[in-house]
Structure 1
Amino acid sequence: MDRLDELAIFVAIIEAGSLAGAARRLRRSRPAVTRALAALEDRVGQRLITRSTRRFMPSEAGRELAIAARRVLGDYAASLGGVSEAPVSGLLRITAPLSFGRRHVTPLVSEFLDLYPQVQVELVLADRNLDLIEEDLQVAVRIGPLPHSRFRVRKVGEVRRILVASPAYLAGAPPLRRPSDIAAHETIVSVAATPIMTWQFGGAGRRSRVALTPRLIVNEVESVLIAARAGRGLARPLSYQAADDIAAGTLVRLLPEFEPEALPVQLVTPGGRHPLPRVRAFIDHAVERLPKLAPIGAA
């Protein structure tokens, strides 16, 4: 069997989550897929696939090989582009933070599906950073600084951590002119965003921290916003999360001059000089459209 074919079968097993699924996708017999995997594992000298309760998953060695295999296959497909442009088709798995994904990535995906009828998208929304290789994801939306990695990164915007409260709360609250004044106020804290009970203010060179004694602690942002609208105190969402409320006047942005530095919004894809056509098409679409769908840098 051609060794490039072995890599394609290996990637198909990971993407399908089973030998049978890979066989159906490639229109091969299951024994042929099994033999290809066994031959590849013999060549590498390590187990590449482990079976979980739900699906086949790559081992540590398998994850490393999957990155290299996708790069090799992408380069091979790109080398044929001058002869025949590869179609934008197939399954594209994307992950994004829950709130951001609901508000901004879902409309983006809907537009993308209209543009490319042969593409199927699975959108996985989660507030924890999923492993792209282990979860077989081709694109991730990440908010905030990223650790150094082999992945490709495209910045598409910025968001800020902002201080807000309802007009009703502010009408009866003490003056708020600087971060130290927060000690006299009621606060609402999201433990998902701020596991330590402090809020940081100010950019480079003038940072300060405010210790909190919150009246209300929740674990997700929608509850924070509901409580803030109801006048329960000061809250600290990201700018895009409170944008609708600020535009409607149900929340007021406070102390903007003391806000910390902006956080980047980035698109992350596995490495390789030539991504799959559907991945490349989605990245190009997102870079163009996402900032227009969401003024994510300001509330």
Structure 2
Amino acid sequence: MDRLDELAIFVRIVEEGSLARAASRLRRSPPAVTRALAALEDRIGVRLVDRTTRRLAPTEAGRAFYDKARSLTADYEAATAGAREAPVRGLLRITAPVQFGRRHVAPIVARFLDAEAGVEVELMLNDRNIDLIDEGIDVALRIGPLADSALSARLVGHVRRLWVASPAYLKRRGTPRTPGDLVQHESILGTVRANREWSFAGLRTPPRLMGRLRVDDVETRLRAAREGRGVAQLLSYQVADELASGKLVRLLQAWEAPPLPVHLVTKGRAHRAPKIDTFIEFAAKRLRALPVLATAPDAVRRGKPQAPTPG
């Protein structure tokens, strides 16, 4: 633990008169606060706090040390407050999924650069979830549930997984009314498991899909669907334009899973550079305004969903 952090914890303990209250105010666990105090006392070789099950009070040495610690932490807070008020500047490294990044994040980045002359941006578009710490990423746009609870996340909207096909394909092969009908159709599949094995809400055993085309690129799957090569599973933002224009038709709506969350993610709230907070505020406002991220994206809905067939 940072030594200045230990001082701040000690100051809070004395001011609150309680380890539990100090932990609550600092948003840390009581054991973590206790360990920090013990580590500080071990380092300086002096008992700073007398504590029993009923009371907590600083020792004589603790009272003297409190005055010095409070002065140091106050100076630090004043210095960092001045830094936070400094102009937004520096390199900002951002990552997003390829297609979403091209369509929606890149224009936001361009406008952000226009607004903040002191900022540089590296935008990395990748459908793989890049590790923020290993890759030195400041902000990531993530689609789907977040596995790492240590990350700080700002919810900006939702998308859905949809099944689509072109009108020409449906005229030639017929329209699937249930997931089971897909065994009679060509499926345009991905190369990873999530895009090869489709899941359907309310259906325990999905049908065995038949697909001669398997491709790892979203744009290629989308183009193949437009060309009438089969049924594809894509995210709502990826097909919003095609559904609105009638180039693709939305299928099997009654079996769609709940919406997937879309977040702006950072490594944490503590000690974030002003450039990060400024970009998150700038981007969140604009992302929430996108129709493709509506909480229930009915903007891409065409027609009424079919009722599920039992069994």
Tell me the TM-score normalized by structure 1. 0.69
Cα distance in structure 1, aligned partners of 2:284 and 2:208: 38
Cα distance in structure 1, aligned partners of 2:104 and 2:287: 7
Report Cα offsets for 1:227-269 as digits up to 9, x if no partner: 1111111000111111111111111111212111111111110
Tell me how far 1:210 sits from its aligned partner.
2.5
- Which residue does 2:11 correspond to in 1? none
Tell me how far 1:182 sits from its aligned partner.
1.1
Task: Structure 2: state its 5+ residue gaps.
Answer: 5-75, 301-311
Is the aligned partner of 1:199 residue 2:198? yes
Cα distance in structure 2, aligned partners of 1:83 and 1:200: 50
Cα distance in structure 2, aligned partners of 1:78 and 1:244: 51
Alpha-carbon RMSD: 2.2
- Which residue does 1:239 correspond to in 2? 236
Report Cα offsets for 1:93-150 as digits up to 9, x if no partner: 0011111111110011111111111111110111111111111110011111111331
Is the aligned partner of 1:173 residue 2:170? no
Q: Please state whether the residue corresponding to 2:289 is helix, strand or coil.
A: helix
Report Cα offsets for 1:69-99 as digits up to 9, x if no partner: xxxxxxx678632687121111100011111
Deviates more, 1:179-188 or 1:159-168: 179-188
Letter in 2 for 1:250: K
Letter in 1 for 2:101: G
Letter in 1 for 2:136: D
Contact map agreement 1:94 1:139 (CA 8 A) in 2: yes
- Which residue does 1:122 correspond to in 2? 122
Q: How many residues align?
A: 223
Distance 1:84 1:280, change over 3 A: closer
- Which residue does 2:209 correspond to in 1? 212
Report Cα offsets for 1:41-60 as digits up to 9, x if no partner: xxxxxxxxxxxxxxxxxxxx
Tell me how far 1:274 sits from its aligned partner.
4.0
Tell me how far 1:294 sits from its aligned partner.
5.0
- Which residue does 1:226 correspond to in 2? 223
Contact map agreement 1:78 1:274 (CA 8 A) in 2: no
Distance 1:130 1:78, change over 3 A: farther
- Which residue does 1:285 correspond to in 2? 282
Cα distance in structure 2, aligned partners of 1:228 and 1:96: 24
Distance 1:80 1:183, change over 3 A: same
Report Cα offsets for 1:171-197 as digits up to 9, x if no partner: 1223421111111111111224735x3
Cα distance in structure 2, aligned partners of 1:93 and 1:84: 19
Cα distance in structure 2, aligned partners of 1:114 and 1:292: 20
- Which residue does 2:139 correspond to in 1? 139
- Which residue does 1:186 correspond to in 2? 186
Contact map agreement 1:153 1:268 (CA 8 A) in 2: yes
Tell me how far 1:296 sits from its aligned partner.
2.5
Contact map agreement 2:236 2:292 (CA 8 A) in 1: no
- Which residue does 1:107 correspond to in 2? 107
Tell me how far 1:157 sits from its aligned partner.
0.8
Distance 1:92 1:249, change over 3 A: same
Cα distance in structure 1, aligned partners of 2:279 and 2:184: 48
Letter in 2 for 1:201: F
Letter in 2 for 1:276: A
Cα distance in structure 1, aligned partners of 2:147 and 2:192: 20
Fraction of identical pairs, as percent: 51
Deviates more, 1:144-153 or 1:205-214: 205-214
Tell me the TM-score normalized by structure 2. 0.67
Tell me how far 1:280 sits from its aligned partner.
0.2
Distance 1:141 1:234, change over 3 A: same
Alignment of structure 1 residues 47-126 onto 2, 5 Å:
80-81=80-81, 85-126=85-126
Alignment of structure 1 residues 252-267 onto 2, 5 Å:
252-267=249-264
Larger RCO, structures 1/2 (Cα 8 Å, 6+ apart): 1
Larger Rg: 2
Cα distance in structure 2, aligned partners of 1:82 and 1:105: 31
Contact map agreement 2:242 2:248 (CA 8 A) in 1: yes
Contact map agreement 1:104 1:294 (CA 8 A) in 2: no
Contact map agreement 2:185 2:210 (CA 8 A) in 1: no
